[in-house]
């Protein structure tokens, strides 16, 4: 069974996403699942890896490991072995554009798509949420352009035909996303911090760690933006979201 949980944001180190993290672990169907952390987007920050082990290892009872694609010179079979080992994969936040470039250069994109087909639980926050969708609305240029940067469209793995915007309630992100969507041919999904979309096979629901966190559907129609809150906390067909007119 194919399973993805994409988290809009929240500080994992402060246990702000713990309710969602618990659901991710539960989806494996195992008491002590094997959890693989992929911290590429953060430049493989050491503290981030320690936080993942604190939350998924010490708190939620997983056996944890980390896939280092920058620090370690792993060959294709070594990378694949780590991905095959995992019951769940969690992708950390950071620079989505850089992460996708590194993944594609090492074939990790194809390995993760294979893991999806096998039923490995795929998850992540921010960049780690964007990556499962066809596109992401990303602040990747923030990491290389200093004070002057713009949001960009980054191509993800394309498991779902939509563009995802995480951190919808931060800064002026929603305003910029609405302007972008006017000329975008397709639907947008916006997730606030503490909110996630859980997609199981061809159904989905919204799960939250903050009670007031929201998810929204965006679509450009004749130079205007249609916005609708996505409220369902029970599973409904994902097709209803994608085909929304």
- List the one residue out of 2, 6, 33 whose CA is nearest residue 115: 2
Report DSSP state, residue 179.
H
Element (H, E) at 78: helix 76-85
Question: In angstroms, rounded to a whole number, what is the distance separating the alpha carbons of residues 41 and 129?
Answer: 12
Pairing verdict, β 34-38 and 63-66: parallel
Tell me which residues are annotated as active site.
126, 167
Residue 167: CB atoms within 10 A of its CB come to: 21
CA pseudo-torsion sign 189, 194, 195, 201? positive
Please tell me the distance from the alpha carbon of residue 44 to that of residue 94, in angstroms, as a whole number. 10
C-beta neighbour count of 29 within 10 angstroms: 12
In three-state secondary structure terms, 137 is strand
């Amino acid at each position: 069974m194919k399973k993805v949980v994409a988290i809009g944001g929240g500080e994992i180190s402060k246990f702000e996403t713990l309710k969602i993290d618990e659901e991710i672990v539960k989806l494996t169907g195992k008491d002590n699942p094997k959890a693989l952390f992929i911290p590429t987007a953060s430049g493989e920050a050491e503290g981030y890896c320690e936080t993942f082990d604190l939350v998924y290892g010490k708190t939620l009872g997983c056996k944890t490991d980390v896939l280092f694609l920058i620090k370690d010179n792993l060959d294709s079979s070594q990378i694949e072995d780590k991905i095959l080992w995992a019951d769940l994969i969690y992708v950390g936040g950071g620079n989505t554009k850089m992460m996708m470039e590194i993944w594609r250069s090492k074939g990790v994109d194809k390995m993760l798509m294979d893991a999806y087909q096998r039923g490995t639980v795929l998850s992540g926050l921010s960049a780690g949420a964007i990556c499962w969708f066809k596109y992401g609305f990303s602040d990747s240029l923030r990491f290389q352009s200093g004070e002057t940067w713009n949001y960009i469209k980054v191509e993800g793995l394309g498991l779902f035909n939509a563009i995802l915007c995480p951190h919808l309630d931060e800064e002026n992100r929603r305003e910029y996303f609405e302007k972008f969507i006017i000329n975008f041919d397709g639907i947008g999904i916006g997730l606030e911090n503490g909110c996630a979309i859980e997609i199981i096979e061809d159904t989905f629901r919204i799960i939250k760690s903050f009670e007031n966190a929201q998810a929204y559907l965006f679509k450009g129609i004749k130079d205007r933006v249609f916005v609708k809150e996505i409220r369902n906390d029970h599973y409904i067909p994902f097709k209803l979201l994608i085909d929304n007119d």
